[in-house]
């Protein structure tokens, strides 16, 4: 059921620059309609440099919260009164909750639902990360959430491969120094100071080459692509070398969701490997954001499924 906008309509939305191609309005409004809520979710273009003013304005206007997308995930931190542990550890926020405290003061809290979106989607697809060997390709913003989540979920070993190896080293150093993963930091520190007798290290770093990638994948349970390779419009891009089969025992997760079937996932399926697209993570991080705005009263599984269907519908239209 879709409500006409009236005096009781509650608002949420997404800020980014640009933001007009975001799938979030279609996902959230479909879920809000299905839940019978008199809420609307809108996309709001906000220029870099104006993020703090925009966020404070939304809070003052009575918005329930908003999502924050590229390039504002760092700039928005200056507007926060509180920050959730995972957002603090990553230094990146993708969801804001606006609430008044007992004294009536408006408080802005920053969260990062990408971590829960990724780990939750892995588990929903039947892959439990605990004790598993994982290769993460890429070391950008998305990779940080992925590595943080995998450490917290108890992965046995993580290999981070990136074209710019220094960026991968920095990622590990930052997560180590922040000391904020549920169980991760101790494990990372042990890696950096490990002795030969120590158990297998949880995080290793290397430059991304065909050799490092195919070798690491041979002994891995899961390969996660967090690079932009394969993303529209350069859909021919692929981290995996053409003509080399992927190990059929591997699960391959591609964060890219446009297109849904990337060339990497196509190669994985051809090789008999399991392939998971990035739309489940996108839908779940959206459902987790709505759950935060509604005071954690949501059936996250059902709303994730609704949002995923809405995103596919929106992609088909565009």
What amino acid positions are annotated as catalytic residues?
73
167 touches ligand NAP by CB under 6 A: yes
**In Å, what is the CA distance from 256 to each residue of 49, 185, 227, 242?**
28, 28, 8, 18
**Strands 65-68 and 95-100, sheet pairing:** antiparallel
Point out which residues pair with 14 in neighbouring strands: 43, 67
Among 285, 289, 290, 298, binds ligand NAP (CB under 6 A): 285
- Which 208-237 residues touch ligand NAP, going by CB under 6 A? 208, 226-229, 231
CA–CA distance, 41 with 283 (Å, rounded to integer):
15
* DSSP for 75-143, written as a single string: GGGGG-SEE-HHHHHHT---EEEEEE-TTS-EEEEEE-HHHHHHHHHHHHTT---TT-EEEEE--SHHH
What is the closest distance, in whole angstroms, from the C-beta atom of residue 282 to ligand NAP in the complex? 4
Q: Which CB, 40 or 284, lies closer to ligand NAP? A: 284
Please say which residue, 162 or 251, places its beta carbon nearer to ligand NAP: 162
Position among 18, 100, 130, 164 found at the interface with ligand NAP (CB under 6 A): 164
H helix or E strand, kind and range, residue 243: none
Please state, in angstroms and rounded to a whole number, the distance separating the CA atoms of residues 97 and 292: 7
Of 191 and 285, the one with the shorter C-beta distance to ligand NAP is 285
Q: Mapping DSSP to helix (H, G, I), strand (E, B) and coil, where does residue 15 land?
A: strand
Q: Report the residue number, 59 or 141, with the smaller CB distance to ligand NAP.
A: 141
**DSSP for residue 271:** T
Determine the Cα–Cα distance for residues 153 and 310; give it in Å rounded to an integer: 29
Q: Which of 43, 51, 96, 139 binds ligand NAP (CB under 6 A)?
A: 139
Closest separation in Å from C-beta 274 to ligand NAP: 17
- Nearer to ligand NAP by Cβ, of 59 and 119: the residue is 119
Q: Is 136 in the site for ligand NAP (CB under 6 A)?
A: no
Which one-letter DSSP state was computed for residue 43?
E
141 binds ligand NAP (CB under 6 A): yes
Restricted to residues 81-100, the positions that interact with ligand NAP (CB under 6 A) are none
Q: Applying CB under 6 A, which residues contact ligand NAP?
A: 114, 117, 138-143, 162-164, 167, 208, 226-229, 231, 255-257, 278, 281-282, 285
């Amino acid at each position: 059921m879709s409500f006409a906008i009236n005096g009781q309509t509650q608002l949420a939305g997404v800020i980014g620059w640009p933001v007009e191609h975001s799938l979030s309005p279609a996902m959230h409004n479909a879920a809000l309609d299905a839940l019978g809520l008199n809420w609307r979710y809108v996309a709001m273009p906000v220029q870099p440099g104006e993020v703090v003013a925009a966020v404070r304005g939304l809070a003052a206007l009575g918005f329930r919260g908003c999502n924050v997308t590229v390039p504002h995930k760092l700039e928005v931190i200056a507007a926060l009164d509180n920050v959730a542990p995972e957002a603090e550890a990553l230094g990146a926020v993708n969801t804001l909750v606006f609430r008044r405290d007992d004294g009536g003061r408006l408080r802005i809290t920053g969260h990062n639902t990408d971590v829960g979106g990724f780990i939750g989607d892995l588990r929903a697809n039947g892959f439990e990360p605990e004790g598993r060997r994982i290769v993460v390709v890429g070391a950008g913003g998305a990779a940080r959430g992925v590595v943080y989540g995998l450490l917290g979920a108890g992965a046995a070993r993580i290999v981070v491969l990136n074209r710019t190896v220094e960026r991968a080293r920095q990622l590990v150093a930052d997560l180590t120094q922040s000391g904020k993963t549920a169980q991760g930091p101790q494990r990372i520190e042990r890696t950096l100071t490990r002795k030969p007798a120590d158990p297998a290290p949880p995080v290793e770093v290397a430059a991304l080459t065909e050799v490092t990638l195919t070798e690491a994948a041979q002994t891995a349970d899961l390969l996660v692509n967090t690079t932009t390779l394969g993303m529209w419009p350069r859909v021919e891009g692929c981290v995996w070398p053409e003509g080399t089969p992927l190990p059929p025992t591997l699960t391959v997760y591609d964060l890219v969701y446009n297109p849904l079937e990337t060339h990497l996932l196509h190669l994985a399926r051809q090789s008999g490997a399991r392939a998971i697209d990035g739309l489940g993570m996108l839908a779940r991080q959206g459902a987790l954001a709505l759950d935060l705005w509604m005071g954690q009263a949501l059936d996250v599984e059902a709303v994730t499924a609704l949002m995923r269907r809405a995103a596919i519908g929106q992609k088909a239209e565009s």
